[in-house]
Structure formats: C-alpha cells, structure tokens
A and B are shown apart, each in its own frame.
Chain A
Amino acid sequence: MTGTTTAPERGRPAGGGPSGGRSGSFLGGRRGGLRGRPMLYTSYGADQAIWNTPAKRAWTLALVAVVLMLPFVLSRDLTSLLTTVFIFAIGGIGLNLITGYAGQVSLGHAFFMGLGAYTAAIFGGEATDSVVGLGLDMAIWLPMAGIVPAAVGLLVAPLAARVRGLYLAILTLGLVFIGEHIFKEARSITGGAGVGRAPAEPVLFGLDLRARYHVFGHILSREAVFYFVCFAIFVVMAIAARNLTRSKLGRAFAAVRDRDVAAAVMGVSLQRTKTLAFTISSFYAGIAGALLVLVIGRVTPTNWNLFLSIDFLAVILIGGIATISGSILGAAFVVLMPRLVSELADVVPFISTSPGSGFLSVFQLQTMLFGALIVVFLVLEPRGLYGLWIRVRNYWKAWPFSH
C-alpha cells in the first residue's frame, strides 16, 4: 500500500501515458488531481496508485465487507467453493505474474502447485506407516510450501531463461509430465499413484482450523474459519503482487514481455528478470497448491496434471491478462461456472445429470463451455472479463454522451 499516499517523486512520469509529460510539481502532485477531475493524474505515483479514485476505495471496502459477511449467510459447501476461489486467485495471480506481466508462457503451473502441496504435507502432515510427515505448525509449513517450489523454480530458471516463446511453453509442459512421474514414484512423500495422502494439518499457531469457534455469539463452522484464513492470505498476496507490478521490477517484467531485445538494450537484465518472474510465480503456485489440497481433502499424484495447468491459463485468459483484479475475476469464473452449469442442468432440457443419457452430461458441458470460452474471449475480448468491466466503466464515464 506504499503508493497510495502522495509521492510525486515515486519515479518519473511515464512517457506516453495520459499524464505523460506533465510535471508532478505543477499541480502539486496530489492523488486524484484537481477537485472534481478524478481522472487527471499529475504524477506517476498517482497514476499507478491502487486506489486512484475515492469511489474505487469506497467500493473496495464495501466489497471486502460483503466478502467478510458471506460465510454467515451462505451454506457450508458454498463457503468452501468461495474459499476455492481465493485459492485459485492466488495461483492465478502467480501465473499472471509470469505469463501476463513477464510474457513467459508457462504450462508448468500444476507441477509447482503439486510441489507446494507435497512440501506442506511433509512439514505439516502426520507421519503414517507409508508416508513421512513432521506435523509442524501452519506458520511453518505454509511459508515452506511457497519457498520450496520457488527454490525449484530458481533451479529451472536458467534453462527457462534461455528458451523463448512457444519453446518455453512446451518445456514447461515437460515439467508437468516429469513431475507427475516423480510424484508417482516418491511414494513415501505422495502416497503413490491411486492412493494419495492426506494434506498438511491446518493448525495455525496452535489453533486448529478444523474446529468450530464461537465468535460474538455466532457459531463459525470449520469451513468458515478456513474461509477467513484463506481470504487473509489471498488479500496479503494480492496486494503484494499488485505492489510488485508497480515497482521497478514490475516495469522490468513488462519491458521483457513487450520486447526483450529492447529491454536488454535499456539495461534490464533478461536473465535476472526472467529468473525472478519464474521464482515468484512458483512461490504463489506452491502456496495455492498447499491450500487447495486442504479444500479437496486428499489428492493423488495425477491431480497435478496438464488439465490443472490449463485451468489456470483459463483463469488468466478469461479474467484478463496482466491484471491482478482480472486474475481474481477469472478465478471466480473458473471455479463458480461449473457449479452454475450444474444448477442450470435441472432447468435446461438437453443436459442430463446422469452420464449416458441426454445429449451432453453436465461435466462434458462444463468442460466444453470452458474451452469455448477461452476461444471466444481470446477472439472477441483479449482483455478478458477485466476488459468487459473497463468497457462498462467507460460507458458510464461518458454517459449520457457517447463521445
């Protein structure tokens, strides 16, 4: 939240932007610019501020309030579903950092998520006859679930930085297959193919997150407790990512994405930037993987497959490339759409809920819609749901005049 205060010296004005050549000091560099002209930015810091208009701040706070109220209203399975949205958003933000911001297409997200999940299981899980586990606190295993994949990302990065474009996409695809094989073989860690293992124990600072708690006369279900924990982690990681993209490193990411040769000429170290993008993205993936298992319950090595990677590509493509809020929208869409489709299945005649009868089963329809939407969004609105939102916003900005 560093950039929300007035800071005209937070970097020189970016050329080409709407406030491009204007000097920060002329209008005082206040956030929001002149009174009644909320879109007039007078400094780079103001342009890049998270809450650049008072309305945005008000709506964000309102949204947070609603999100915090939801578990008291919703059923337990819907609470779990929303928790999954937060977790997918964390993973989606991670993928967006590397693919959206830094332009390095990665199909290997599922591999790093699996690494995170199994790291968490080693540090936080209970040891049994067949699998290892240290049974440590969540305060230890959660950071480790990010650090270990990040370290592996750091190891792979030198190779990944040499390879460009679609070559990199297929290289990371290879990581998923090799990872799946390793996960299957490392039986003492993963439980092996078809068996799987229980996830880490969600005990945070000695507080068991699977218990119910009485808060202000309310009984909080364990789904709700976990919901709040995931929401807190998600908010911290989202804000961290947003700030990262506004920093010098974030601009280096964008420079490498837009034209790597030009970026190198300007003094951006390609090797260093790509390595950092890979490492940070893997960190986010690891955290998301560790938390995701807690919602699902038990996973086998084959869960971390190519299709999970494609799910996350869909999150950023449908949500919006190179936007943090887009990743969140995309996560909500990808997680909630299947549920919506299965709710609709009772209403629409040609969808059957049982496999074999009817034209398409619910699952097939979900998958197909998923693929079709990737195509439709890329063809019609490459900026995704975030782009749709921008269109709506701009319409009302100019209303009632169209020009």
Chain B
Amino acid sequence: MSELISLGLIRGLGIGSTYALLAVGFVIIYRATGVINFAQPALMILGAYVTSVFATSVGIPFPLAVIAAMAVLALVGLATERVALRPMVGKLPFAAAMVTVGVFIVLFVVAHRLIGAQVRTVGDPWGLERMSVFGIGVAQVDVAKIVISMVAIGAVGLFLARSRLGLAMRATSMDQEVALAQGVNVGRMFGLAWAISAALAALAGMLIGTAAGGFDAVLALVALKALPVIIVGGLDSIKGAVYAGLFIGVAEALTRTYQPQYAPWLGANFDVVVPYVIMIVVLVFRPYGLFGTREVERV
C-alpha cells in the first residue's frame, strides 16, 4: 500500500505535473497561433542548462537562478517567434509546425554543444531527502515538482483570466482578426505566447533536471511525452493539459512499478511508451482528446 502511494501516486503526480507544465506551454502557443511547437523539448534542455550555469558556475542563489533562467528562455522564445514563426503567419499550420521542427534541430544542436558529453547537475536544491507523511515515505523532489508546477500553472491561469494582457491573449486565440480590429497587437501576443511557453519549458527543464544523477541532452526526449499529453487532453484546453498530464504521469509511474512484476511480457522499459499507448487508445474514442474542442465542419 505504501509502495502504491509513494512509488505510484506521488512519484506519478511528480512526473505528471512536469508534463502538465510543458503541455500548458504547448497549449498556450497552439491557442494563440494554431501551431504545435515541436521546439519545446529543445527549449526545455536549454532552460535546464541555463539554470545549471546560473546555479552552479555563477553561483547565485537557487530560486534567483531559476527565475533568471526563465527570463533568458523567455527571450529565446521571443526571438524564435520573431525570426522563424512571424513570416509564417497566414500560411498552413502544418508548414508552421514544420518550421518549429527545424528550430528544434538547431536549438538541440546548440544545447548539445553547450552541455557537452558529460552529465550536468542543476545544483542540489532538495536533495534526495525523503520525508514521512502518515508513515508513508515521500521523496521531497516529487513534492517540489508538484507544488512548483501547480503554482506556475495557477499563475499563468490567473494571468490569462484576470489581467488586461491575458484578456488580449484570449481574444487573439479566439479570433485574430476581431482582436486586431479591437486594437490588440496580435503580433505582440504571439511573441508573448512564445515567451510564456519557453519560460514554462525552462521551469520544467529545471524540475526534470533535479533528478538524481543530473541531466544530459537526451533529456529532450522526455519533453516529447508532453505531446501525447496534449493530445489526450485536447490541443486547445489548458484544463485538459493539466488533467491529462497528471493522469499520464501516474499511469507511467504505476507501469514502472508494477509492469515488470505482473506483465513482464511487455518488455523492459515499457513505461516509456505508456503515454503513447494511452494516447492511441484515447484517440480511438475521442479524435479531439478528452477536453478538446471539436472542429465544426461547415459546407
């Protein structure tokens, strides 16, 4: 029972909340611009790298290092949007998504070059301490992941719901032309979406990078799991991204804990593909995800 909760639920929610953090970034860009940002994984490892530089080499206090890294990545996101994505406005969403694939490749090489072959660490903000809650061992890392992700997502949600800029962003995602007619600078909203998304990616990168043993460039592949998450949740739903992220994280952790024991015939490391299996099963029943908006077909 205690294994179920600590290794299944808590660890799963920990992984899941970082997926949710990444997925919210995807959704924000998708809603604002109609593009899936395949460059997000590269932004994530860049974020983890910048955090580790600030926290270990430069030596500023950890929370400040995280905020500084988020700011740097927001600028990278802003620049990417301006250089590569702005010219694609009005073109097919598929073409713009492919541009982000190109951006991914470039940023991935940059990150690889910066990180090098060795494993880096983000510092040791939480350590590997375990605390005991009602007699159940819980890793502090997992708690930190859940709390920080949910606070960040909550802040973004509040920003979108309450602030003037958030209102402008929501208007842009509903109808760009109408927003333009109401005096919203749509181009600036696109940039803002990319900046927020990249900052969230940096935060997620930091959280995933705090795992025991540090991180390397291969970490980028972890971020790809946010893609099945947004498909399960529905491409345009922030709520869906959070629920699906947590759900898939728990499913993955449960598989990692119990599958070798109960279903060894599925093979080693089956938990890595669990998000994709869940995604396909969900798509069989709901082609627009659990919370996604169904496209209206009109003749």
User: Number of B residues contacting the other chain (C-beta, 8 Å)?
Assistant: 49
Indicate if the CB atoms of B87 and A164 lie closer than 8 Å: no
Indicate if the CB atoms of B270 and A265 lie closer than 8 Å: no
Indicate if the CB atoms of A379 and B84 lie closer than 8 Å: yes
Q: For chain B, what secondary structure do more than half of its interface residues adopt (helix, strand, loop), or is it mixed?
A: helix
The number of chain A residues touching the other chain, given as a range, is 35 or more
Indicate if the CB atoms of A177 and B88 lie closer than 8 Å: no
Most chain A beta carbons < 10 A, residue from B96, B105, B272, B289: B105
* Chain B hits for A292, CB < 8 A: none
* Chain B hits for A265, CB < 8 A: 299
Indicate if the CB atoms of B105 and A171 lie closer than 8 Å: no
Set B98, B105, B231, B273: member contacting A378, Cβ < 8 A: B98
Contact with B along A155-195 (1 / 0, CB 8 A): 00001001111110111011001100100110000000000
Contact with A along B94-129 (1 / 0, CB 8 A): 111111011111101110110000000000000000
* Chain A hits for B98, CB < 8 A: 313, 317, 374, 378
B203 lies within 8 A of chain A by Cβ = no
* Chain B hits for A364, CB < 8 A: 109, 112-113
Q: State how many angstroms separate the Cβ of B198 from the closest Cβ of chain A.
A: 17
Contact with A along B48-77 (1 / 0, CB 8 A): 000000000000000000000000000000
The closest CB in chain B to the CB of A373 belongs to B102
Indicate if the CB atoms of A378 and B95 lie closer than 8 Å: yes
Q: State how many angstroms separate the Cβ of B40 from the closest Cβ of chain A.
A: 12
Q: How far is the CA of A184 from the CA of B103 in the complex (A)?
A: 30
Indicate if the CB atoms of A378 and B102 lie closer than 8 Å: yes
The closest CB in chain B to the CB of A355 belongs to B117
Indicate if the CB atoms of B283 and A375 lie closer than 8 Å: no
Indicate if the CB atoms of A174 and B105 lie closer than 8 Å: no
A353 lies within 8 A of chain B by Cβ = no
* Chain B hits for A375, CB < 8 A: 84, 99, 102-103, 106
* Chain B hits for A382, CB < 8 A: 91, 95
Contact flag A371-B97 (CB < 8 Å), given A163-B283, A364-B109: no
The closest CB in chain A to the CB of B265 belongs to A185
Contact with A along B244-268 (1 / 0, CB 8 A): 0000000000000000000000111
* 5 tightest Cβ-Cβ pairs between the two chains A and B: A371-B105, A374-B102, A185-B267, A174-B276, A375-B102
| 11 residue pairs from A and B, CB less than 8 Å apart | A159-B280, A166-B94, A170-B228, A171-B279, A317-B98, A371-B105, A374-B98, A374-B101, A374-B102, A378-B98, A379-B88
